[in-house]
Amino acid sequence: MIEIKNLSELHKPAYLMCLEEWSDEMKQAGDRKTIWYEKVKDKGLRVKVAIDEKENAVGMIQYIPIEQSFAQGENLYHILCIWVHGYNEGVGNFQKRGIGKLLLKAAEEDVKSLNFNGISAWGVSLPFWMKASWFKKQGYLKVDKHGMGVLLWKPFNPNAKPPKWIKLKKKPKKIPGKVTVTSFINGWCPAQNSIYERAKKAASEFGDKVIFKEIDTSNRQVFLEWGIGDALFIDDKSIRTGPPPTYEAIKKKIQKRVNKLK
């Protein structure tokens, strides 16, 4: 028996680690999600968790007013992520039991009760985590696309206006004689937070040849200046961050750039 409940203090530790408290890899993300949570918890963040009969949190959905997200819209909520625990470790695999649909329905009903015009979500065009195709099956419509990222929405009344992606406005610049590693970090996603921590550590291995820069996009004005939420750049080149690259992979990419320095 699964119940969908609002986030409680009991389940907050699991939520802050995306239900993977058992994972050593997740622990590499540090405390940035906790910092982010404290910033936004009173700015409209909503979190619901799926609870099993043992009071374990086995699924979660977090959503926020679209003005606090990486998209542009009016009187909408935006789903940051929806996740049902799918590993054998910890609480075990709870996927493919309809829990994701229960979480999504609960969030939609919640947003309707708040008198918002609709809800949006992001999905990936390829068949892995946060699949755009899954949202389409739940009645969501595609309204925008940027790379593999698909923006979808479900309007609740005919006056609702569709959202749009806020897209890249500028990229980091090269610095002559140096390699620059730039981490754009919002804090909401532990996977992205772990990339930040790995990149920072890897950059430190090269002394003054490498400059590490952190750009905190939880500051809305900073995000709007760049049009980048979470990302990793080496010089002016974006590094693919899904799935999250290992520390060794990031260090290897930095090394290649260092080797090209004159």
pLDDT digits (tens, 9 = 90+) for 179-208: 999 999 999 999 999 999 999 999 999 999
Tell me the pTM: 0.94
158 and 219: one domain? Answer: no
Q: How many other C-beta atoms can be found within 10 angstroms of the C-beta atom of residue 242?
A: 16
151-172 pLDDT, tens per residue?
999 999 999 999 999 999 999 9
CA–CA separation, 187 vs 44, rounded Å?
Answer: 16
82 and 23: one domain? Answer: yes
Domain boundary among 111, 131, 165: 165
Structural tokens at position 134: 């899954």
Q: What's 199's domain CATH number? A: 3.40.30.10
Provide the domain limits for residue 139. 3-165
39 and 136: one domain? Answer: yes
The helix/strand count (H/E) of the chain reads as: 8, 13
Has residue 188 been placed in a domain?
yes
Q: What is the DSSP letter of 258?
A: H
Q: What's 33's domain CATH number? A: 3.40.630.30
113 and 183: one domain? Answer: no
Contact 176, 145 (CB under 8 A): no
Has residue 246 been placed in a domain?
yes
CA–CA separation, 144 vs 254, rounded Å?
Answer: 33
Residues 6+ apart with CB under 8 A from 176: none
147 and 203: one domain? Answer: no
Q: Using 50, 70 and 90 to split pLDDT, how confident is the model at 144?
A: very high
17 and 102: one domain? Answer: yes
Domain boundary among 134, 165, 196: 165
Looking at the structure of the chain, the number of domains it has is: 2
Has residue 172 been placed in a domain?
no
110 and 134: one domain? Answer: yes
206-226 pLDDT, tens per residue?
999 999 999 999 999 999 999
pLDDT at 25: 85
56 and 82: one domain? Answer: yes
Has residue 132 been placed in a domain?
yes
161 and 198: one domain? Answer: no
Q: What is the DSSP letter of 243?
A: S
Peptide bond into 65 cis (omega under 30): no
Domain boundary among 165, 192, 209: 165
115 and 196: one domain? Answer: no
Q: Using 50, 70 and 90 to split pLDDT, how confident is the model at 146?
A: confident
Average pLDDT over every residue of 69-86: 96
